[in-house]
């Protein structure tokens, strides 16, 4: 997806969670069954296409995409623990019997891989926790990423004084 396409979507009134939930938790499981591994790889591919420039852009992307609130809760040299929380996460945990967060996990893994330059993968934990979902990113500092990212996307900084 081109950077200007993302900007156009963000500026349009296209926020429809009903349509998103129909696709995400009804149609996709119907087509692919209970194996949601494909969503992990789809998230990685999406991250390569969007190519966010910074951690701040990753957090903002999650908010704008209505995937939830994303924050780093623990960080080491080769490992990060993220918390994904918010209304949509609670809704999916409460309403969707087999809710998973593989799409989000794949997106985070690939974004960190692109930004760090090293192979990164994620593990999703506590999918039913009331505080949110833990997504652990493990980065292999001995395995550099060979892919050269292009056209990084930056979210505009808000000029509002909230």
pTM for the complete prediction?
0.84
Residue 39: its pLDDT value, please? Answer: 92
Owner of token pair 């493990």? 138
The reply to whether 149 falls in a domain is no
Say what the pLDDT of residue 45 is. 94
Answer whether residue 60 is part of any domain. yes
| Within-domain flag for 34 | no
User: What is the number of structural domains in the chain?
Assistant: 1
Instruction: Tell me whether residue 159 is in a domain.
Output: no
CA dihedral in degrees (6, 117, 84, 158; nearest 10)?
A: -50
Pairing of strands 118-125, 79-85: unpaired
Cα–Cα distance measured from residue 14 to residue 126, given in angstroms and rounded to the nearest whole number: 30
Backbone angles phi, psi at 71, to 5 degrees: -145, 145
Which domain does 106 fall in, by range?
3-8+40-144
We report the CATH number of the domain holding residue 72 as 3.30.1380.20
In a domain, 47, yes or no: yes
Provide the pLDDT for residue 58: 96
User: Helices 102-116 and 55-64 meet at what angle, rounded to 10?
Assistant: 160
- Is 16 part of a structural domain of the chain? no
Residue 105 domain-assigned (yes or no) = yes
Collapse the DSSP code of 121 into the 3-class scheme (helix H, G, I; strand E, B; otherwise coil) and give the result. Answer: strand
Q: What is the DSSP letter of 158?
A: P
What is the pLDDT, as a whole number, of residue 10? 55
Residue with tokens 């929380």: 85
Looking at residue 101, its pLDDT comes to 94
Query: Is 49 within the bounds of a domain?
Result: yes
Token pair belonging to 45: 């591919």
Q: Alpha-carbon distance 90 to 145, whole Å?
A: 34
How far, in Å, CA of 89 to CA of 80, rounded? Answer: 20
pLDDT in tens, the chain (162 residues): 445 555 655 555 555 677 777 888 888 888 888 888 899 999 999 999 998 989 999 999 999 998 999 999 999 999 999 999 999 899 888 888 778 899 999 999 999 999 999 999 999 998 777 889 999 999 999 999 876 656 666 676 544 444
């Amino acid at each position: 997806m081109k950077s200007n396409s993302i900007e156009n979507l963000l500026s349009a009134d296209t926020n429809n969670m009903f349509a998103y939930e129909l696709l995400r938790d009804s149609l996709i499981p119907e087509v692919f069954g209970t194996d949601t591994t494909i969503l992990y790889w789809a998230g990685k591919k999406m991250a390569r296409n969007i190519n966010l420039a910074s951690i701040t852009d990753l957090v903002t992307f999650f908010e704008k995409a209505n995937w939830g609130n994303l924050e780093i809760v623990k960080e080491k040299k080769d490992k990060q623990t993220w918390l994904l929380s918010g209304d949509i996460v609670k809704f999916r945990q409460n309403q969707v019997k087999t809710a998973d967060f593989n799409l989000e996990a794949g997106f985070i893994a690939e974004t960190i891989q692109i930004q760090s330059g090293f192979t990164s993968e994620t593990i999703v934990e506590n999918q039913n926790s009331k505080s949110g979902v833990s997504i652990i990113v493990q980065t292999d500092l001995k395995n550099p990423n060979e892919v050269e990212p292009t056209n990084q996307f930056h979210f505009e900084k808000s000029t509002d004084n909230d």
